[in-house]
Structure 1
Amino acid sequence: MQALQLNGIHEPLRLQEIPTPTPGPGQVLVQLHAAALNHRDVWIQKGQYAGLQFPCILGSDGAGIVTAIGEGADAALLGQPVLINPGHNWGDNPNAQARSFTILGLPHQGTFAEYVSVEARYVHALPAYLSFEQAAALPLGGVTAYRAAFTRARLQPGERVLITGIGGGVALLALQMAVAIGAEVWVTSGSADKLARARELGAKGGADYKAEKWAPELIKQAGGPFDVIIDSAAGAGFEALLDAAAPGGRIVFYGGTLGAIPQLPPAKVFWKQLSILGSTMGTEQDFAAMVSFFEQHQLVPAVDQVFPLAEGEAAMRRMEQGQQFGKIVLQIRS
């Protein structure tokens, strides 16, 4: 099969011929039609991820058709269109992943290839209303957004929610889900175009996080502070989120693209009775609930741009630049 292979830190992805995997006991072989990028792929390429090993095939998100089954796997899956849950071996504790938890694409070979072999328990029926490219945009970002918004922050209809860094895949999926349940959604971005496009998806409005005193201005615009804040940046701007949160508010963050939080004034947390919550990926139950949620509301993930598999390195550079609005997708089979 053809696969995009990463042979070392800072090396470009190279399209190479490698052996097609064979599904083992309990596994299925998925002929991939589309795969989607995540920032995780860029961090691995830069060597900024634990457990690096080369050569490797990146890619956590994928959708395709089951073309072979291993011993003990459900024969009814053969020929079925599926999307793949990239979070494996969560463990028995729904509150936190086990030490054995892994994400598809490292250490196990990922979806930037014509075929991938995974345990049958991690494939789900592809929602019939989605294309392969749209479905591939859903798994990692969708389960991350679902767990952050609902399992962790317990977002409720009618609540006022702030989603930072709109334009990225997880943030947009969180926006779509929050709007679907009737929450009042506000966003931040460094791009006026992304703020405008977020409004088209149902956001009430937003603010440029690069502007001075954006938080009090957004509170004024929104008519009050925010019950829930969903963040992926952390860093020096995190204190502004404490100011933007309503008394008793919940701040959940699933990433730290801006690094460590230099100041966390305790009085702003305890006096306002804030809950600060971390969230990573999601359980198998979170994933199933997320797919069901999208089907129930007929939500379509935002796709930024589709690249052919051979242009995977160009897709990685677009991801690195952070100019996308929605998921960047690789078309593997038309």
Structure 2
Amino acid sequence: MNQIPPTMKALVLQDNPEARIELKTNYPTPTLKAGQALIKLKTAALNHRDQWCREGMYPGLRYPSILGSDGCGTVVAVADEADQHWVGKDVLMNPNVNWGDNPAFQSLNYSILGMPTDGTFAEYLALPAHRLHEKPAYLSDEAAAAIPLAALTAYRAVFTKGLAANGSKVLVTGIGGGVAQFAFQLAQAAGAKVYVTSGSDEKLDQMRQAGAAGAVNYKDPQWVKTLIKAEPMGFHTIIDSAGGDAFGELAKMLAQGGTMVVYGTTAGKPSGIHLPRLFFSQASITGSTMGNDQEFVDMLAFMAKHQIQPLVSSVRPLDDIVSAFDEMDQGRQFGKLVIRISE
């Protein structure tokens, strides 16, 4: 068995308004409990929940804790002999903690890896072996780390809730975010005709190059008319994370029997909805967050089948991780912000 050092580098969330996150160089390395595996992390990736924790805006904050829900690494030790087959394998971690028995919704004690449970922004991570999945062989360590949370959220939103399929017309809003980009890629791979919105012309140009059927800047006063002209019969599936003033306009763009899936409210309180338009078109608005364990398995299989490559904005060493948080705060990234932790 590899020699495990007693301390490690870890990005720690702490109860200090002046420095809520700090990279510690001598944080205790986790010790294994029954049923657990110890992973030496190679790469990790940021999600918006990490920045919200930094800002003190996430519920149930626990101090100290190690942030990070996404990661890729090598299993270096296990607590139970029955899990010995994992040792030496490169793995991803399912970030669900206690989803529960009902696939339709998470349990009351559900949480996500990386606060309150210590996460992936560290050199070592201990977690139950049943959370492990072999790293997709076609992906690099950096690309693999970008997958778990965002791709799982997108998979459930696009397919389980949004019912997107071959031939569907799909609209994904706010394409700069990781979930939105995976939603685009997953729907496109399924054979859907996918449109996107963004406030950045540069990001829209990149999505056109990636094969978007249409790319519209929501800062343009004519953006709604542009989308309606492109798809006058509306969209079968709309994936939205913003809410805000545009929410009512999006609802009007649903096709007969269409579904709008909401997984966030980054733009604040949603505008009003024209209810007669909603019920006369037999349309639906549904909420979605994360995904159950079977959807995680299905998501990995779908991505491998279609050889989907996550969009990676940048890769930087663990020593520079705070700069990745700053970049996310400013919204400058296009794709996932990946952290290289070890070779």
1:185 aligned residue (189, 194, 199)? 194
Measure, in 1, the Cα distance between the counterparts of 2:262 and 2:271: 16
Q: Is the 8 A contact 1:12 1:313 kept in 2?
A: no
Whether the 8 Å CA contact 1:215–1:243 is kept in 2: the answer is: no
Q: CA RMSD in A?
A: 1.3
What is the correspondence of 1:1-334 to structure 2 with a 5 Å cutoff? Answer: 1-8=8-15, 10=17, 11-16=19-24, 17-71=26-80, 73-222=82-231, 224-334=233-343
Secondary structure of the equivalent of 1:270?
Answer: helix
Amino acid at match of 2:162: A
Q: Is the 8 A contact 1:187 1:206 kept in 2?
A: yes
| Identical positions, percent | 48
Give the aligned residue type for 1:15: L
What is the distance in 2 between the residues matched to 1:190 and 1:244?
A: 19
Letter of the 2:234 partner, please give it: P
Letter in 1 for 2:217: D
**Equivalent position of 2:3 in the other structure:** none
Structure 1 residue 154: Cα displacement: 1.2
Which amino acid counterpart does residue 109 of structure 2 have in structure 1?
Answer: S
Structure-2 change in CA distance of 1:192 and 1:307 (3 Å): same
Distance 2:231 2:9 in 1: 50
Contact preservation (8 Å) 2:252, 2:274 = no
SS at match of 2:65: coil
Secondary structure at 2:187 match in 1: helix
Deviant stretches of 4+, over 6 Å: none
Specify the SS of the correspondent of 2:37.
Answer: strand
Deviation per CA, 1:30-77: give whole Å up to 9, x if none. Answer: 100001000001111111111111112110101000001012551100
Amino acid across the alignment from 2:258 = G
205-214 vs 102-111, which moves further: 205-214
Matches of 2:295 and 2:328, distance apart in 1: 26
Equivalent residues, number: 334
TM-score by length of 2: 0.95
Supply the distance in 1 between the matched residues of 2:191 and 2:175 (Cα, whole angstroms): 18
> Which whole-Å deviations, capped at 9, do the CAs of 1:133-190 have from their partners, x for residues lacking one?
1000000001000000011111110010000001211111111111111100000000
Q: Secondary structure at the match of 1:148?
A: helix
User: How many angstroms apart in 2 are the aligned matches of 1:30 and 1:69?
Assistant: 9
Amino acid across the alignment from 1:85: N
- The C-alpha deviation readout for 1:183-218, integer Å capped at 9, x for no partner, is 000000001111111122221111111122412211
One-letter amino acid matched to 2:224: A
Structure 2 unaligned spans of 5+: 1-7
Please list the CA deviations of residues 236-294 of structure 1 after superposition, one character each: whole Å capped at 9, or x if unmatched.
21011012211211000111111221422322321222110100100000000000111
Q: What's the TM-score, normalizing by structure 1?
A: 0.97
Whether the aligned pair in 1 keeps the contact of 2:178 and 2:336 (CA below 8 Å) is: yes
- The code of the aligned residue for 2:22 comes to R
Instruction: Give 1:223 deviation, angstroms.
Output: 5.4
Q: What secondary structure, in the 3-state scheme, does the structure 1 residue paired with 2:316 have?
A: strand
